[in-house]
Structure 1
Amino acid sequence: MILVTGATGNIGRSLVGRLAGAGAEVRALTRSAGRATVPAGVGVVEGDLDDPGSLRPALTGVEAIFLLRTGDTDTSQILKTAAEAGIARVVTVSSLLAQTHPDSSVGRTLLRGEQVVRDSGLEWTILRPWEFFSNLLFWAPAIRSDGVVRAPRPGLPSPAIDPRDIASVAASALLEDGHGGKTYPLTGPATLTPQEKIAAISAALGRPLRFEEDPSLATEDPADDLAAAVSFPGVCAVASPGALSTVEDVTGVPATAFRQWAIEHADSFR
């Protein structure tokens, strides 16, 4: 049995489907079971990661867990509860900022969280993705209204990744041996500027769109690159590690191209 936390999110929803499609016994954890839509045969249980004690019923009979940490979640207590329940394997999501900016406040926080997982006594795999394609849905209202995305800066080339590819790597780590003790940096197959991203969305919609820089939109300290990196989704303000081949190396399937994602999600921008 595999327990998937964050089962209704961008990664978790895809992961549940992949695991179920592979014939695994899957249990989806959500705060509201009544609103969860899962494949046939997948069990749905309620639980709150901020209340580790509430997870005990969900952990019964589970052998591996996909842990999507959020906010101030007490990861150490969750993993202690998981170990007491007999769980042997954990796969968790961190961020590539732990690698690229380890001395920043964000990087230090991520590294502390990763170390808790490494010290848990469970067989662990850590996934470090760069920014998600799905962040671009933040642009949808502007694209629908006047076809112009305005941002405070031009942005840097960024190898954003499809959350489904993160789920694919997670599925491999949960279903296969040989991934224990591995930390996987994950990116999409190419680095793209915001202008190139909007060009791909434009092609998918079949109508002209444009990207405009408007410095007056900046709200964060201009010296804080990491704050700038997350303040306007889809517009990366920090240097990336470049496109990496990890998704294909682990799964045998190349990472999804952004143009393909744009075609599949075109209705979200119409």
Structure 2
Amino acid sequence: MPGTTAAPRIVVTGATGAVGRHVAQLLPADADVRLFVRDVAKARRMGLPGELVQGDHQDRPDLDRALRGADAVFVVTANPLRPADDENILAAARAGGVRRAVKLSWLGVADPAADGLIARWNRDAEALLRASGLDWTVLRMRTPMSNALAWAPSIRGEGVVRALGGAARSACVDPRDVAAVAVGALTGPGHAGRTYALTGPAPISVREQVRELSRVLRRPIGFEELTADQALARWRERLPEPIARALLEVAERRSTGASEHGEGDVEAVTGRPPASFATWAADHGPHFG
């Protein structure tokens, strides 16, 4: 009909991840949404709205199929040993006529002293985005509160959390808040060329998170401090050596207070303050039950 506006066509990469799943759920109901996923069965089990497009960031035909004719793309990559993933997504976006790209990054890159594998990978990805010719927005997030879900098996089975750096504090952020900012940047005006720092309202330590989960579950949960060697051994069990080492470096930097500072961009974009860990824990209590 004359005067009508076509529904925005938005591609979400990393759609089954901690932030991407919420982006998919928060996008406007009238949006034409494509979810680029490696595991279609997982996405279906999660009940995510939108068209599912199966593929890998290393496979250009898959990306071309997902991005062709889209207006905007949410760019999420997860492996610092695959730096070409961002380049592949952006190349397919340009070829497909995409105008807007919103990139999930890490707030640690704002610290000049952070120069490990993860920081360099995110800095390089941001540089690629800025040079892409697309209208870009960078979302630099602090540690997501959902990382605490990794403790669920030991909480359920043993009533204990084992972690490195129990006293280190971080202004960790609710992934739902990051997703709300992402949706604003994907669908609204005024975000091109902006870099947002996304944190929770206040720093909180691992020990304090455990106490909050204990309060939510109404039962005691113990905490056992891991040594650096013990933590590294655990990461090595499921991750390549360079990434395990990089995670240890991030944990050591966190112990110096590098992750404590909070930022106000969640509220600036969404109009509401970021959620506390207490709120996140109350909403996710059943996962630890």
Task: State TM-score, norm by structure 2.
Answer: 0.83
Structure 2 vs 1, CA of residues 241 and 120 (structure 1 numbering), >3 Å: closer, same or farther?
A: farther
Question: What is the CA–CA distance in structure 2 between the aligned matches of 1:52 and 1:30, rounded to whole Å?
Answer: 14
User: Where does the alignment leave 5 or more consecutive residues of structure 1 unmatched?
Assistant: none
Quote the offset at 1:249 in angstroms: 0.7
- 2:153 corresponds to 1:174: no
Quote the offset at 1:241 in angstroms: 4.7
Question: What is the CA–CA distance in structure 2 between the aligned matches of 1:135 and 1:43, rounded to whole Å?
Answer: 27
Question: What is the CA–CA distance in structure 1 between the aligned matches of 2:40 and 2:160, rounded to whole Å?
Answer: 38
Q: How do 1:1-270 residues align onto structure 2 when only pairs under 5 Å count?
A: 1-21=9-29, 23-37=30-44, 38-39=47-48, 42-71=50-79, 72-74=82-84, 75-101=86-112, 103-105=114-116, 106-215=118-227, 217-219=230-232, 227-228=247-248, 236-238=254-256, 239-270=258-289
Detail structure 1 runs of 4+ shifted over 4 Å in the superposition.
Answer: 229-232
Question: What is the CA–CA distance in structure 1 between the aligned matches of 2:107 and 2:282, rounded to whole Å?
Answer: 26
Q: Deviations 1:58-84 (Å, cap 9, x if unpaired)? A: 112201000102221522232122112
Question: What is the CA–CA distance in structure 2 between the aligned matches of 1:52 and 1:12, rounded to whole Å?
Answer: 21
Do 2:169 and 2:260's aligned partners in 1 also have CA atoms closer than 8 Å?
no
The DSSP-based 3-state class of the residue aligned with 2:126 is helix
The DSSP-based 3-state class of the residue aligned with 2:123 is helix
- Which amino acid is 1:55 matched to? L
Do 1:229 and 1:237's aligned partners in 2 also have CA atoms closer than 8 Å?
no
Quote the offset at 1:47 in angstroms: 2.1
Aligned length: 263
Question: What is the CA–CA distance in structure 1 between the aligned matches of 2:278 and 2:114, rounded to whole Å?
Answer: 34
Percent identical among aligned pairs is 38
User: Where does the alignment leave 5 or more consecutive residues of structure 2 unmatched?
Assistant: 1-8, 234-243
Quote the offset at 1:33 in angstroms: 2.9
- Which amino acid is 1:197 matched to? Q
Task: State TM-score, norm by structure 1.
Answer: 0.89
The DSSP-based 3-state class of the residue aligned with 1:259 is helix
**Deviating more after overlay: 186-195 vs 136-145:** 136-145
Do 2:184 and 2:269's aligned partners in 1 also have CA atoms closer than 8 Å?
yes
